[in-house]
Amino acid sequence: MNVLVLGAGQLARMMCLAGTPVGFNVCAFDVRSNKVVHPITLTSVHDNLASAIEHVDVITAEFEHIPSDILKICSDSGKFLPASQAIKAGGDRRIEKALLESANAANAKFHVIQDRQDFDKAISIIGLPLVLKSALEGYDGKGQWRLKSQQQADDVWQDIQTFLAESRPEQGIVSEQFVQFDREVSLIGARNARGEIQYYPLAENVHVDGVLSLSLVTKVEPALQQQAEDMFARIANELDYIGVLAIEFFDVNGTLLVNEIAPRVHNSGHWSQQGADTCQFENHLRAVCNKPLGNANLIRPTAMINILGEDQLPEALLQIPSLHIHWYGKDKRAGRKMGHINVCGESEQQLTQRLQQIAKLLDISKFPALERYL
């Protein structure tokens, strides 16, 4: 089957790499250049978007912030999956919060802010401390503020007011109760049009400065896994979702609260390339093409390490068994996601030993989440 991915970044690239051996032909629409390209070579493969839409069987997306005109064209074709409402929920925290409430998925108490009156009301209703996030386009720690005391209120509001003035008119702010959590975890799941769902095991995620640095998947805690799967099913069914959906959670003393959703393959699921029976990229293609889903079980303990702003790694890493480096073919830029490392072990102990080896070979200042393994 022929699949068009909106977005021509690393996620489209990995969908192509996973899909080609099993018969999915993937092309990508680069929203910056308005060109339809091969996701790996980036050479043009169709004259324009209209031509690509005509020739493919399915259209999907690698990111949420799709220009509204492009999203409408693709949705109107009847080929776009998941539905545009899911993409909008992933790209607008106001819609996302409404979805979570409708699906009865536990999440932090919140209040939508558009002006100073709303800001003061949020403080009154929710209490301090507060986390404030841009409704649109905030990611990797950007477009976020933390209000710890009433004394900070005027300064934080001034920053937000400046931000809103410089943003597009439809921008807004969502204030959330600050959640004192034990750790952050995420669940990747795939659902096809037949309603079949495959759940990947929960990944424990370590963020540094708001950016994912490490994902670790080892033993599965049945009660926590069941909580996550129940909420996934409610959200996916509410949206009649088709494809891979990622849900990030706060783990608060064994109770999960949804932090956010991502209607696409996700960074915290990259471990599945080496650690699962079927990786998230192949299962997304299977789902949107309405094929039977592949088994998502963990086959061995696995960790994923993001490579940020670096285009070279020590060659000695390749001597570590069950280690795989995935480069994205990007130009080097500070903080940019350049690739990732997947490493596996036959046991949790062996995986820990290999992570210790990796930590000794890398510059910890550039891979801070690995400091725990020194």
Q: What is the pLDDT of residues 203-244, one digit of tens each?
A: 999 999 889 999 999 988 999 999 999 999 999 999 999 999
What is the rounded distance in angstroms from the CA atom of residue 64 to the CA atom of residue 257? Answer: 22
44-46 and 110-113 strand pairing: unpaired
In 3D, which of 31, 82, 9 has the Cα closest to residue 284? Answer: 82
Residue at 184: amino acid letter: E
The percent helix, strand, coil of the chain (3-state, each to 5) is: 35, 30, 35
Domains and CATH numbers, the chain: 2-80 (3.40.50.20), 109-177 (3.30.1490.20), 183-373 (3.30.470.20)
Say how many Å lie between the first and final Cα of the chain, rounded. 47
Q: What is the pLDDT of residue 219?
A: 87
Calculate the dihedral angle through the C-alpha atoms of 10, 59, 63, 276, rounding to the nearest 10 degrees: -60
- By the 8 A CB rule, do 343 and 16 touch? no
Residue-by-residue pLDDT tens, the chain, 374 positions: 999 999 999 999 999 999 999 999 999 999 999 999 999 999 999 999 999 999 999 999 999 989 999 999 999 999 999 999 999 999 999 999 999 999 999 999 999 999 999 999 999 999 999 999 999 976 555 689 999 999 999 999 999 999 999 988 999 999 999 999 999 999 999 999 999 999 999 999 999 988 999 999 998 899 999 999 999 999 999 999 999 999 999 999 999 999 999 999 999 999 999 999 999 999 999 999 999 999 999 999 999 999 999 999 999 999 999 999 999 999 999 999 999 999 999 999 999 999 999 999 999 999 999 999 99
What is the rounded distance in angstroms from the CA atom of residue 77 to the CA atom of residue 65? Answer: 19
Q: What is the pLDDT of residue 362?
A: 98
What is the rounded distance in angstroms from the CA atom of residue 258 to the CA atom of residue 260? Answer: 6
Q: What is the pLDDT of residue 119?
A: 96
What is the rounded distance in angstroms from the CA atom of residue 121 to the CA atom of residue 6? Answer: 39
Burial class (CB in 10 A: 0-12, 13-18, 19+), 223: exposed
> Which phi and psi (to 5°) does residue 206 adopt?
-115, 120
- By the 8 A CB rule, do 188 and 201 touch? no
Q: What is the pLDDT of residue 143?
A: 83
Q: What is the pLDDT of residue 117?
A: 96
What is the rounded distance in angstroms from the CA atom of residue 228 to the CA atom of residue 202? Answer: 8
Neighbours of 23 (CB within 10 A): 10
Q: In this structure, what DSSP letter does residue 336 have?
A: -
Calculate Rg over the CA atoms of the chain.
21
Q: What is the pLDDT of residue 141?
A: 54
How far is CA 137 from each of CA 26, 90, 193, 341, rounded to the nearest angstrom? Answer: 26, 10, 29, 27
Helix (H, G, I), strand (E, B) or coil at 288: helix
Neighbours of 218 (CB within 10 A): 21
